[in-house]
Chain A
Amino acid sequence: MDTLIEHWTARINEAANAGGKLAIRGGGSKSFYGGPENGEALDVGGYRGIVAYEPTELVVTARAGTPLAELAAALAEKGQWLAFEPPYFGPAATVGGMLASGLSGPRRQAVGAVRDFVLGVKLLNGLGEVLSFGGQVMKNVAGYDVPRLIAGSLGTLGVVLEVSLKVLPLPVAEKSLRFALDEAAALQKLNQWGGRPLPISASAWHDGILTLRLSGAAAAVAAAQRALAGEVLDDAEAAAFWSSLREQTHAFFAGNPPLWRLSLPSVAPPQALGPTLIEWGGAQRWLRAGDATAIRAAATQAGGHATLFRADDALKTAVGVFQPLTEPLARIHRNLKRAFDPQAVFNPGRLYPGL
């Protein structure tokens, strides 16, 4: 076995025996996300490198500490990419951190999330066992779908050692369009367009402007551009805009007020809870500040949930980062945590207090 893995196994066993806690860290780029870090750092960034990549299989397997940028560069060389456009939030972002945080970028509305592209994981569980689930093929229903369960579990179920991901060809053509619309009209349009076979790969509404991105075959993008009209953006400007949303460098995300992420049905009406930026065809709504109780209630009422995406630890502790779970979901969560990490060694409280 790899000496790094042996070393981690020893630390896990030691922690398990002594009631210790470990905070798993990839590049630390998403440390801001989730509950406060708690426990001794377990740095997994050193376990890196692409293990296997065959473009014709549309699959890449990489160690968890592989920098996302390194993976993206290797894929781009073969005209492929991670189609869900994962956010980096900094140059140190790793493949393991991407999977564990489960965050997806602007293209999520069109192609799916991280969890939709995970084919396999190799995991070090709280018993210090190395376990492989899923694999390197597109379809696999042998055993429970643990790889997708790990997506978004914030390192609470184990240390991800290796990940296999489905990759796709880069789109041939791309065009972004802009429309002046108020929030309600933009939501209406986004949902109507969503029901038509248009190659919309991203959308954003903020401050009276709706921006759309079309991606795909040149002919399809050109046809949609004609059908939708709208003001055409300069390509460089458009690329910078979508990247500023993905990386949250857009002015909307600047400053100190708490940042909330509302995940709602795309057809939910405007929420009128504060300054808003809408993505994913209406299904992801960012909100600055606001009253936690009102926000959580509104999200539930609309059929979704709210996450306190960025805030200081005091507020996070006071109101919780993620929408509280109701029974029996909470019970199933506790049981699953015990199934993978019986001594509760990994990332305590990162997802939910007590988990």
Chain B
Amino acid sequence: MSMEDTIADRRFSIDRATLIRRLREVLPVQALLAEEEEMRPYDCDGLTAYRQLPLLVALPEDEAQAQAVLKVCHQLQVPVVPRGAATGLSGGATPHPDGVLVSLAKLKRIIRVDPLSRTAVVQPGVRNLAVSEAAAPYGLYYAPDPSSQIACTIGGNVAENAGGVHCLKYGLTVHNVMRVRGLTIEGEIVEFGNAALDAAGYDLLALLNGSEGLLAMITEVTVKLTPKPELAQVVIASFDDVRKAGDAVASIIAAGIIPAGLEMMDKKAIHAVEPYVNAGYDMDAEAILLCESDGTPEEVAEEIGRMTAVLERSGAAGIRVSQNEAERLKFWAGRKAAFPAVGRLTPDYLCMDGTIPRKRLAEMLEAIAALSGKYALRCANVFHAGDGNLHPLIMYDANQPGELDRATAFGSEILELSVRFGGTITGEHGVGIEKILLMAEQFTEAEIGAFHRLKAAFDEHGLLNPGKGVPTLARCREYTQARAGTASPAPRL
């Protein structure tokens, strides 16, 4: 039983020639790829360990073409997998062997930036950072800032409910999106939310966020823009003990402070990053915390003072405060480059994404260190500490027999522990195919059944991104039985 098998749990028998003919009728020539070498670049997303060629790749250039593709696929009962920039780390955009991979990357127009209402209307293929760049002349920005923001798309952000280093204070994607326009699998245009603060009826907009392309294809998004704070400053505190750093996080919150960002990196992560970007991190530290304050100059001065006091009381070995914007960006550059920096140290890595109550941070780090020994694989840790969201980066070499399996088992143990600690298997990267079996760790069969019925409320025949997000009940039972043989089942929390 391995994760990529779950995609093929449901096979579809498709007449490829007919499908190509029908799609050619609705798409320009260059917008349909059918040759293996043309489709090869689309065979995976950021979860590069799993590759799969789709039946076809469609590259619609506008909503009408996307709609036409869906109508054809729905009529012929062909699965459809939406794709943005493919930076997703859980295999959400991994193709289906019998399906059409629909890339929304060409829908990349910023339709409107309205400074007065503080909103922007963008197509789904617009990059996250491009929205903030377009809003910058008005003193506004788009708050959610995933580290992948130069590449990932707004459509992908909505589909994953992406977070960033500032989401403790400014919220996740779901808190910053007002309206999603999309297409049902039947190819009908549907509007979730609106330009006001709420819409009539059930909050379907909330459901669309984090739906991993399983409920609708997103074709347009209205995002909320946030006024840029007058000033931001970041404190770097180094600790000689990860437990002290973990406790400092809880103490900051206990002091009534909600930092604009609160991030943690362990020694392995610091050692990966520092030679790569020279951010000025303390190479002797066991862990560092980055703690940001923003607001008016008076407010920032007051808050930095309180933060520094708490960090000192928590036993920080060294504290530095950014003295200007260039230095603040330099301090953050290290954190934002953590994944690629680790990528330089290893042929391959798996990025985990569990979230736990903050008070278990130190305990979790110790458990990860022990697992690193057990599986004989290195692991660097970067955390959205303020949210309790962990990103252990498990380093492996796919060319060494057995290493991928070991890395996967290592990751699974971390996620099982996350659930046992009262948390979740995924905070922001999504379930995709990567964590699909682990859903059985977190949810009962009745809950999984409810998810399937919810999905069917949008997509009766299960054509949108099949095999992702929610496991079949058969897979759940298989998983639970396998677990029962190897370990005691996690208690229900």
Contact = CB atoms under 8 A, between A and B. Distances in A.
Interface in B232-247: none
Interface string A266-310: 110000000000001001100000000000000000011101000
Contacts of B470: 143
Interface string B352-366: 000111110000000
A184 interface: no
Contact of B201 (A145, A199, A322, A327): A322
B191 to A, nearest CB: 8
A108 interface: yes
Q: Which 7 A-B pairs have the closest CB atoms?
A: A219-B298, A335-B457, A148-B206, A139-B427, A339-B453, A304-B196, A169-B256
A131 B446 contact: yes
Contact of A266 (B117, B160, B204, B256): B117
A144 B207 contact: yes
Contact of B447 (A108, A143, A280): A143
A145 B206 contact: yes
A24 interface: no
Interface stretch (B14-22, B382-390, B406-414): B382-390
A28 interface: no
A328 B188 contact: yes
27 contacts: A58-B253, A108-B197, A109-B197, A113-B197, A115-B206, A116-B171, A135-B424, A139-B355, A139-B387, A142-B426, A142-B439, A143-B439, A149-B207, A169-B257, A191-B116, A192-B116, A195-B116, A217-B303, A223-B296, A223-B299, A303-B194, A303-B195, A325-B200, A332-B204, A336-B457, A338-B453, A338-B457
Given A220-B298, A220-B299, A339-B453, A138 B210 contact: no
B452 to A, nearest CB: 9
A222 interface: yes
B197 A284 contact: yes
Nearest to A262: B196
Interface in A192-236: 192, 194-199, 216-220, 222-224
B405 interface: no
Interface string B442-472: 1110110011011111100000000001100
Interface stretch (A8-16, A49-57, A67-75, A240-248): A49-57
Contacts of B195: 265, 303-304
Given A195-B116, A335-B458, A131 B450 contact: yes
Contact of A148 (B168, B203, B229, B453): B203
Contact of A304 (B194, B426, B427, B455): B194
Nearest to B175: A116
B200 A56 contact: no
B209 interface: yes
Given A303-B194, A336-B202, A340-B450, 11 more contacts: A131-B450, A137-B355, A139-B387, A141-B431, A143-B439, A143-B442, A143-B443, A219-B301, A219-B302, A303-B196, A335-B458
B86 interface: no
Which of A58, A79, A137, A335 counts the most chain B CB atoms within 10 A? A137
A145 B210 contact: yes
A168 B258 contact: yes
A112 B161 CA distance: 16
Which of B140, B201, B250 counts the most chain A CB atoms within 10 A? B201
Contact of A336 (B114, B160, B186, B454): B454
Nearest to A116: B175
A116 B198 CA distance: 11
A143 B167 contact: no
Contacts of A307: 200
B236 to A, nearest CB: 22
B78 interface: no
Contacts of A59: 357
Which of A169, A322, A324 counts the most chain B CB atoms within 10 A? A169
Interface string A133-167: 10111111111111011011100010000000000
B442 A333 contact: no
Given A139-B163, A191-B116, A265-B117, A56 B250 contact: yes
A135 B175 contact: no
Interface of B: 114-118, 138-140, 160-161, 163, 167-168, 171-172, 174-175, 184, 186, 188, 190-192, 194-204, 206-207, 209-211, 215, 227-230, 250-251, 253-254, 256-258, 295-296, 298-299, 301-303, 355-359, 384, 386-389, 422-431, 435, 439, 442-444, 446-447, 450-451, 453-458, 469-470, 493
B298 A222 contact: yes
A125 B444 CA distance: 14
B451 A144 contact: yes
Contacts of B201: 322, 325, 329, 333, 351-352
Contact of B296 (A79, A192, A220, A325): A220
A323 interface: yes
B389 A139 contact: yes
Contacts of B443: 132, 142-143
B427 A137 contact: yes
Contacts of A168: 258
B208 to A, nearest CB: 9
A197 B295 contact: yes
Contact of A264 (B196, B209, B458): B196
A313 interface: no
A162 to B, nearest CB: 12
A157 B201 CA distance: 12
B254 to A, nearest CB: 5
B447 A54 contact: no
Nearest to B435: A142
Contacts of B204: 149, 329, 332
B161 A55 contact: no
A129 interface: yes
Contact of B389 (A133, A138, A284): A138
A267 B355 contact: no
Which of A194, A220, A325 counts the most chain B CB atoms within 10 A? A220
A56 B359 contact: yes
Interface in A169-203: 169-170, 172, 191-192, 194-199
A66 interface: no
A2 to B, nearest CB: 15
B139 A139 contact: no
B435 A218 contact: no
A305 B200 contact: yes
Contact of B302 (A115, A217, A352): A217
Which of B200, B303, B387 counts the most chain A CB atoms within 10 A? B200
A140 B426 contact: yes
A140 B198 contact: no
Nearest to A220: B299
Contacts of B425: 142
